[in-house]
Amino acid sequence: MKRMLINATQPEELRVALVEGQKLYDFDIEVPSREQKKSNIYKGIITRIEPSLEAAFVNYGAERHGFLPFKEIAPTYFSQPLGPQQSRSDIKDLIREGHEVVVQIEKEERGTKGAALTTYIALAGSYLVLMPNNPRAGGISRRIEGEARGDLKEILASLDIPEGMGLIVRTAAGGKSAEELQWDLNYLLQLWEAIERSATQRKAPFLIFQESNVIIRALRDHLRADIDEILIDNPATYRMVRNFLQQVMPHFINKAKLYEDSVPLFSRFQIESQIELAYRREVPLPSGGAIVIDHTEALTTIDINSARATKGGDIEETAFNTNLEAAEEIARQLRLRDLGGLFVIDFIDMTSMRHQRAVEAKLREAVKSDRARIQIGRISRFGLLEMSRQRLRPSLGESSLVPCPRCQGQGTIRSTESLALSVLRIIEEEALKPQTGKIVVQLPVEPATYLLNEKREVLGQIEKRHQVGIVIVPARHLETPAYEIQRIKASEGEEETVSYERIAEEERKLPEYATAEGRRAEEPAVKDFLPSTPAPIRSKTSSAELIKRFWQKLVGGARSAEPQERPSEPAEPQTAETAETQRPRRPRRRRGTANRSATPATPTPVETTAAENPPAEEEPTPAPSRRRSNRRGGGRRRRGRRASGTPQTAKPQQLEGGDTAAETTEQPEQGTASQPVSADHLLPAPAPDSGKAEKPEKPVTKTEERNDSDEAN
């Protein structure tokens, strides 16, 4: 049983977990003092244009200005239309500093990099993503396949989309009716109108629209029919969830339940320990091995160690089993930690190529349910596999962890002796400078003690050799590897001060949570925007009809229902291009003796003649008696059929790795030639209307029925 658990008992942290049984498979956390800014919409002002970077910098209200590439500036902000002979670098002449723009954050600030901005706004709904100023954008999520994809294309064509806007169909739209999608589109259009009105009422910079909090995002992005329960442990949050579901997803409102047990919600399902593992560097595997995750500036490395793993008859089998476990756990940890960017995985060495391909297939299968775009390479001869994952939001570490103030995030510090000797060399270097009268060194207690005792003679030699005074001051507030060195010139004539009085007082800083309370969060101009009407509740009749249609096409029953389903489509005569894919399977019918008695002796009206075949297929037709025993001729026809069907199946495979905006989508195909293979495309086309009586159709054999269902799936 899958559940969505919402923990809101502590206002400092809102947590949402998705569990299957007692196994955590997705997790999100939000700290109100560090609210997510991705997808927020601001009105900003261009402060600087950098032609060398082909970008502009925009002040949208943050401390660090945002980065706006020229390619992300909509033509509506140009002073004049971009000519056909002008390139992207010429945009610098069409915009100016001080110009106000409405921007959306694509990537949040990371390290020293400012936020990445775009003027192509994307508004995410429950089923659709509206691109109000990008008419070229649009498509259907690649996770929707087969029959549902064809139905959505028809529904998408029937929606009332304003001119100049684009629309992306999300994965959640699979199986939804035209009424539900139109309702979602109307809500997004109303939201865009409110954003446009607010953008004209104030001067930049200010926040126009703020993305929903983690709870609303989880309901919008993750709530599907396979989620059986939504448990909330806070009454106020429970009421908010029910209000949202009543307006947007009324068919899921009965799944929301208030958790009132004395045992904490996450402890009840034993996932607190799994969440703690997501913060650790090393994650154990069931067989005794472990994976170690390390982060660098350029990429993330993942190492697999066999450790105590002994599952297997030999070293090759042990490595193979451990790598299979690691592949599954790596996919899970990437989702829990929400890591993005480049990854290099160091699997345990395997000599068998079959084992390497199996581990790659296991990793690809494990990441199929991930919402982020993922690209996976192959295991190299060094045992390394490269992959990339789309960064959807700040990772768990970025939102919950801070760099260590002692090591500055490096993870290691210098030893006491190493630091003391390093300071000793710096003292002598400072003593070499002209007019040096005194050197005052403040050190942590341990290295200061080492210098004053083990290196007392060396310090004395430096004082005599360079005629300078050296003062070593142990400072309690300093920790290795921190130290302070002060060089005092002889001409300054500093007053004599007792050494212990030179100890600087520790600078006391308020903790982050204390300073966060003083900062007032910016209020968006458009907030608490709800649909004007509740979402429509889909009737059970339409669902039954959809199931009926699916089974009819799966077993071949849709052939007889095709004219009734599409009465407006005229019968199209066959051509040489379509004859190969639409002709009946004559060789398979000859082999199927069980259906031979039911097959009419005369050919059906849609039977392909020799003249309708492509030139490569033209050859003398032998006598029927010979043709039955001539396997060579039948083999040629079978090869021709596979070759003719290849273009239909190759196109969807090439599109699976495509990348677009926030969700993997593709442009809707034009015409039937580029559509994915489905049961519809394997059915014979209706014969031309010749005025003669329609002859009975050829029954579907078991072999044909199996092939049709496989390709439709």
β-strand partners of 124: 129
Is 710 assigned to a binding site? no
Residue 94 burial (C-beta neighbours within 10 Å; 0-12, 13-18, 19+): middle
Is 26 assigned to a binding site? no
The counts of H helices and E strands in the chain are 20, 25
Q: Which residues are within 8 A (CB) of 356 and not within 5 positions of it... i.e. 6 or more apart?
A: 350, 378, 379
3-state secondary structure 139-196: EEECCCCHHHHHHHHHHHHHCCCCCCCEEEECHHHCCCCHHHHHHHHHHHHHHHHHHH
59 within 8 A of 45, measured Cβ to Cβ: yes
Is 93 assigned to a binding site? no
- Location of structure tokens 């969505």: 4
Instruction: Tell me the torsion sign for CA atoms 368, 372, 375, 381.
Output: negative
- Which of 136, 130, 129 lies closest to 170 in space, CA to CA? 129
Please tell me the distance from the alpha carbon of residue 458 to that of residue 454, in angstroms, as a whole number: 9
Is 303 assigned to a binding site? yes
Q: Torsions phi, psi of 293, nearest 5?
A: -110, 120
Q: Which residues are within 8 A (CB) of 112 and not within 5 positions of it... i.e. 6 or more apart?
A: none
- CA distances in angstroms from 86 to 46, 74, 93, 119, listed in the order given: 22, 15, 11, 20
Sheet holding 300-305, edge to edge: 282-284, 290-295, 300-305, 341-346, 384-389, 374-376
Please enumerate, by residue number, every residue annotated as part of a binding site for Zn(2+).
404, 407
Please enumerate, by residue number, every residue annotated as part of a binding site.
303, 346, 404, 407
Please enumerate, by residue number, every residue annotated as part of a binding site for Mg(2+).
303, 346
